[in-house]
Amino acid sequence: MSENPALDMLTEEIMHFVEERDWLQYHTPRNLAAALSVEAGELLELFTWENPSFQDIERNPEMRARMEEEMADVMIYLLEMFCLLNSDPVEAVRRKMEVNARKYPVELARGRADKYGLAKERNVGGGGG
Ligand SMILES: [Mg+2]
């Protein structure tokens, strides 16, 4: 459970959907991580050989709807995984944002896209996002 009622309700709906279908037996950590990765791949697939801006996508209702659908698939799996781990997604994201802020201080990272190079310079390791 998180401190966010809307997120909690959404998670309850997702878990109800899964339990109603007796799918929990298949939802191991590895299987859910694989499914999450597949859905992230489906999101990426929308951009095969294309690199539209967010503004371009907003002007294209069909593309926007397809993108929302794949982002929702990713979020559904993430929320289920947080729930099954008895972990608070809001707290986990906050903790990771604090790590990211220490790893990439504004004065060094601002305007730089080469986060791996930056991490290497600071000797904090670039992997793990
Ligand atoms: Mg999908």
Query: Residues with Cβ within 5 Å of ion ligand 1?
Result: 39, 42, 70, 73
**CATH number of the domain that residue 64 is part of:** 1.10.287.1080
CA distance 42 to 55: 21
pLDDT interval class at 59 (50, 70, 90):
very high
**Domain span holding position 126:** 88-129
Say how many Å lie between the CA of residue 70 and the centre of ligand 1: 5
12 and 47, same structural domain? Answer: yes
CA distance 59 to 62: 9
79 and 93, same structural domain? Answer: no
Query: Taking 70 as the threshold, does the pLDDT of residue 124 lie above it?
Result: no
79 and 64, same structural domain? Answer: yes
Query: Taking 60 as the threshold, does the pLDDT of residue 105 lie above it?
Result: yes
Say how many Å lie between the CA of residue 75 and the centre of ligand 1: 11
Question: What is the structure's pLDDT at 120?
Answer: 72
Question: What is the structure's pLDDT at 4?
Answer: 84
Query: Taking 80 as the threshold, does the pLDDT of residue 126 lie above it?
Result: no
DSSP of 55-106? HHHHT-HHHHHHHHHHHHHHHHHHHHHHHHTT--HHHHHHHHHHHHHHHS-H
Query: Taking 80 as the threshold, does the pLDDT of residue 108 lie above it?
Result: yes
Mean of the pLDDT values across residues 116-127? 66
97 and 80, same structural domain? Answer: no
96 and 39, same structural domain? Answer: no
CA distance 80 to 111: 35
Residues 6+ positions from 39 with CB-CB distance below 8 Å:
70, 73, 74, 77
Q: How many domains does the chain have?
A: 2
Average pLDDT of the chain, as a whole number: 92
44 and 76, same structural domain? Answer: yes
